[in-house]
Chain A
Amino acid sequence: MLLIRRFEERCVELYSAAKIRGFVHLYIGEEAVAVGVGQSLREEDAVVSTYREHGHALARGVPTQAVMAEMFGKATGCSRGRGGSMHLFDAGRRFYGGNAIVAGGLPLAAGLALADRMRGTERVTCCFFGDGAYAEGEFHETANLAALWQLPLLLVCENNLYAMGTSLAREHAQTNLAMRAASYGMPAWTVDGMDVLAVEAAARRAAESVRAGGGPHFLEARTYRFRAHSMYDPDRYRNKDEIAQWKTRDPLDGLEGILRTAGAVDDGVIKRLEEDVTTEIDTAVRAAEAAPYEPVTDLLRFVTSTPGSA
């Protein structure tokens, strides 16, 4: 969680310095969801994510250097500079992006789960999406299909209360998302998305049930983004008191408090963790700065597997 937080804080600085461009959607405040869910998954499982996916990628183990280099648009980036912030991929870690069409990753995730089901594996596909995606037809089509075919799919709805600038109550006639998901015939429950231990416990329970053949499960993580929707967003639609109130529930502070009470960490450990994370990010930034760009002569590479075939 600390790595994700500090990574994104550095991204803000690098964006201001014009080292990073494009749309950048920060996950700050929501880290407990990616980390808690990530802990419940196995190496052989698959993850499909959204455009707010730095946290999902890092929690999945995509190397910090590869993610940072992608932010810089460099050849060493995890998408070789063709994706950017919204399109991080790592096939080896079964991290399938990085989808910037809201809800567009959901059918894809159902297909990955279908392939696993047809091949008789015990793998789980985890799909992250937001409360905004929940209003899209693709969510509802996928929920129905996954329940109908009993696919090994873990649907994780990161409900941060805003679809860009539109609040939950202004986009959903019925705001109880888990209840509606349950109507598709799948187990569905809600968890405090600011509490990483609670998220992990809930996700583990869901993932293991999916793995055991229990069909798709729906998990709503109630969370909040501390920053604006993207670097372009002046955040006119949220009340400052509301933001301040959610910040008192910072998932990093929450975990730190629990660990301190348990005697698992002290000031020295925290300091070392901060130093380690800083070093890792510094190294990633230096490597990204030094890395080459993809040559423009390779512009058309990867449009098709065989050049000129389509």
Chain B
Amino acid sequence: MNARRPAEGAETPRSTYREALREGLREALRGDERVFLMGEDVGRYGGCFGVSLGLLEEFGPDRIRDTPLSESAFVGAGIGAALGGLRPVVEIMTVNFSLLALDQVLNNAATLLHMSGGQLNVPVVIRMTTGAGRQLGAQHSHSLEGWYAHIPGIRVLTPATVDDARHMLAAALDDPDPVVLFEHGSLYNEEGALDTAIRSVSLDSAAVRRAGTDVSVITYGGSLPKALAAAEELAGDGIDAEVVDLRSLRPLDDATVTESVARTHRAVIVDEGWRSGSISGEISARITEQSFYDLDAPVQRVCSQEVPIPYARQLEEAALPQPASIVAAVRQAVA
């Protein structure tokens, strides 16, 4: 899927990101009896962020499986169940909590296929919330998807639109290898038009969400609405920004980024992760490696400030990329 264009005559009902995720889960559970969902409070509670609300009633406690607060055990059990022929979807409440299961993700899920000489596929999907913006403080708000993108052997997805929220899960479940899917917490209530003409999405390509000619704003996940808002503001000043939604942080779709930069000659990367050692640094390096002679200005980055995300609203807002900081970076790039 690239630039999204509703097919002629297609209905475009509204959906929240949360509802779209739930429909994706429902479809997967209906379509394949090997699929099941497990995690903390996914069943009776309805999911910590309400994504799985109602699924317990439809699919029962075997397939909508509440777990104890044992991230390592239930993520590892998801990996083991995948080895055993099932298609588990494991939900972790937030990326900060996923650190308790990092051993299983890195040392088992990402490693088993290679370490076993190609014998053991791990078709598990691990979903988790990421990101800040809800005044939840430093232990519920970080953006560590860039860390996961460092790991060979897993696919890292960051749905940012309702269509991707609706369809990425099915594609992830079709992948014979482990997939980690990051849902940005500030997107759950975002509403958008769901394109009913879309039946499936590719996981391999980034998408141009707004075509433009003056600068490429490259982003993903929860920063996409901010980048689009910034682009609108810039348009008022006659700066036509292209917005690229990476969609996948591993593998990265270099071609879409390279093509965009070849057209615009300027790049601004927006990433809610900390700047040092971040995915934004990786993207910047690749642009330098692959598009150096296309560039008319240094690559700019808009990242989170290097601070544990604070609670107070004004501090949290100051710590994160915002439309205003994106606008400022773009102005510098096109100056």
Find out whether the CB atom of A137 lies under 8 angstroms from the CB atom of B72: yes
Which of A15-23, A79-87, A174-182, A205-213 sits within the interface? A79-87
- Contact partners of B76 in chain A: CB under 8 A: 104, 106-108, 110-111, 138, 142
Shortest B254–chain A CB gap in Å is: 11
Q: Within the assembled complex, what's the spacing in Å between the Cα atoms of A98 and B116?
A: 9
Find out whether the CB atom of A114 lies under 8 angstroms from the CB atom of B80: yes
A282 lies within 8 A of chain B by Cβ:
no
Chain A count of residues within 8 A CB distance of the other chain: 47
Find out whether the CB atom of A97 lies under 8 angstroms from the CB atom of B251: no
Binding site for B on A (CB under 8 A): 46, 77-83, 87, 89-91, 96-99, 101, 104, 106-116, 118-119, 137-138, 141-142, 144-145, 148, 301-306, 308-310
Shortest B237–chain A CB gap in Å is: 40
Shortest A179–chain B CB gap in Å is: 22
- Contact partners of A113 in chain B: CB under 8 A: 80
Find out whether the CB atom of B80 lies under 8 angstroms from the CB atom of A109: yes
- Contact partners of B107 in chain A: CB under 8 A: 99, 101, 104
Find out whether the CB atom of A144 lies under 8 angstroms from the CB atom of B70: yes
Find out whether the CB atom of B86 lies under 8 angstroms from the CB atom of A142: no
Shortest B105–chain A CB gap in Å is: 11
B294 lies within 8 A of chain A by Cβ:
no
Q: Within the assembled complex, what's the spacing in Å between the Cα atoms of A289 and B175?
A: 37
Binding site for A on B (CB under 8 A): 36, 62, 67-68, 70, 72-86, 88, 103-104, 107-108, 112-121, 152-156, 175-177, 204, 250-251
Find out whether the CB atom of A308 lies under 8 angstroms from the CB atom of B113: no
Find out whether the CB atom of B78 lies under 8 angstroms from the CB atom of A111: yes
Shortest A117–chain B CB gap in Å is: 9
Find out whether the CB atom of B154 lies under 8 angstroms from the CB atom of A79: no
Ranked nearest first, the 9 interchain pairs of A and B with the lowest CB-CB distance are A111-B80, A107-B76, A115-B84, A80-B117, A141-B73, A141-B70, A111-B77, A89-B116, A91-B119
Most buried by B among A78, A112, A116: A112
Q: Residue on A with the closest CB to B85? A: A115
Q: Within the assembled complex, what's the spacing in Å between the Cα atoms of A305 and B36?
A: 22
Find out whether the CB atom of B114 lies under 8 angstroms from the CB atom of A303: yes
Find out whether the CB atom of A107 lies under 8 angstroms from the CB atom of B79: yes
A-B contact pairs, 14 of them (CB 8 A): A79-B116, A83-B115, A89-B120, A90-B119, A107-B75, A107-B80, A108-B83, A112-B84, A114-B80, A115-B84, A137-B72, A141-B68, A309-B251, A310-B155
Shortest B78–chain A CB gap in Å is: 6
